[in-house]
Amino acid sequence: MTDTMAVPAASLPAVAPVSQTDGGSYRVHAYAFSAPAFLLLFATVIAPVFVVLIVSLTNYKLGHASLSFIGLGNYARLLQDPYFWNALKNSAIYTSIVVPISVGLALIIAALLINRTRSRRFYEVIYFLPVTSTLTAMSIVWSYLLNGNIGPLAKLMTSLGMKPFDFLADGDLALIGLAVIGIWHLLGFNLILFLAGFTTIPKELMDAAQLDGIDSFWDRLRYVIWPLIAPTTIVVVAISCIQAFQAFDTVAVLTNGGPYGATEMLLYKINQDSFIGLKAGYGSALTVIYLSLIGLFSIFQILASNRKVHF
């Protein structure tokens, strides 16, 4: 009895250090292997965010040698700045035009495409082409298409006896003009996401729906497709919101925020204030606001897609 008791007691201390060093070296290895990724992420994403946060609390101007901390002064000024509110409003309007239309249209086109067998590939390529193109270059083409004097749209409207729209020069229409280009650019991407989402709908379920009388296009969309791709829809909406809030290329190339600030959006204003106006501190405060809005969309997406949603 005493013998059997003695054996484990003696062997225990011998075993324990071995397992400890094993665990220790495993941990060291784990950190060593993840260090490059962590350092890269820190240097390129996390550190800049902190730098922006700190700069936003200063009156730093690009090119100046000195700066002083002014606390929340930039943020107080920002709330008083009518141009900030104008840019935020324009971004919101732009997003609320681009997101519903690009998502809704992509869903409908995707629902039309799932039953095509041979022509589906062709349409996928056609709709995806704008995504692969350079928006800056394509903006030039669009500026011609939408031009009120020489553009084909204006010519068409004149020939129909209507007064032609001059999209990008008219203060009331310029934002809509940019939104049209934004939708064109985003549609193909959303379409591909929806088509990928459709592959999760079982074929037997679509057959059963046909037998149950759910066989018209709108009924299928309403009772089967739309509820079953709710998780995909949330991802698509969140990504589209982020994309729409990032609208910059078209503004910079086509309108420069004009006419009279009608198309000045958040990212463009940040660029103007920081690099043209050289007010880095103020620009950083704008960037912090911009980042927190984008962050909100991402958090919404993560929360929603973690649950299994059915509408």
For 263, residues 6+ apart whose C-beta sits below 8 A from its C-beta are 90, 174, 175, 178, 251, 255, 257
Q: How far apart are CA 59 and CA 36, in angstroms?
A: 34
For residue 109, the minimal CB distance to other proteins (Å) is: 21
φ, ψ of residue 159 to 5 degrees: the values are: -65, -25
Beta carbons within 10 angstroms of residue 230's beta carbon:
15
| Contact criterion met (CB below 8 Å) for 249 and 263 | no
SS3 175: helix
Residue (19 or 311) nearer to other proteins, CB? 311
Residue (159 or 306) nearer to other proteins, CB? 306
For residue 216, the minimal CB distance to other proteins (Å) is: 7
For residue 239, the minimal CB distance to other proteins (Å) is: 23
Residue (172 or 212) nearer to other proteins, CB? 212
For residue 104, the minimal CB distance to other proteins (Å) is: 18
How many residues can be counted in the chain? 311
Q: How far apart are CA 244 and CA 95, in angstroms?
A: 5
For residue 236, the minimal CB distance to other proteins (Å) is: 18
Residue (80 or 216) nearer to other proteins, CB? 216
For residue 115, the minimal CB distance to other proteins (Å) is: 12
Residue (87 or 206) nearer to other proteins, CB? 206
Residue (163 or 310) nearer to other proteins, CB? 310
Angle at 276 between CA 270 and CA 280, to 5 degrees: 55
263: nearest Cα among 278, 275, 247: 247
Positions that interact with other proteins (CB under 8 A): 202, 204-205, 207-216, 218-219, 223-224, 227-228, 310-311
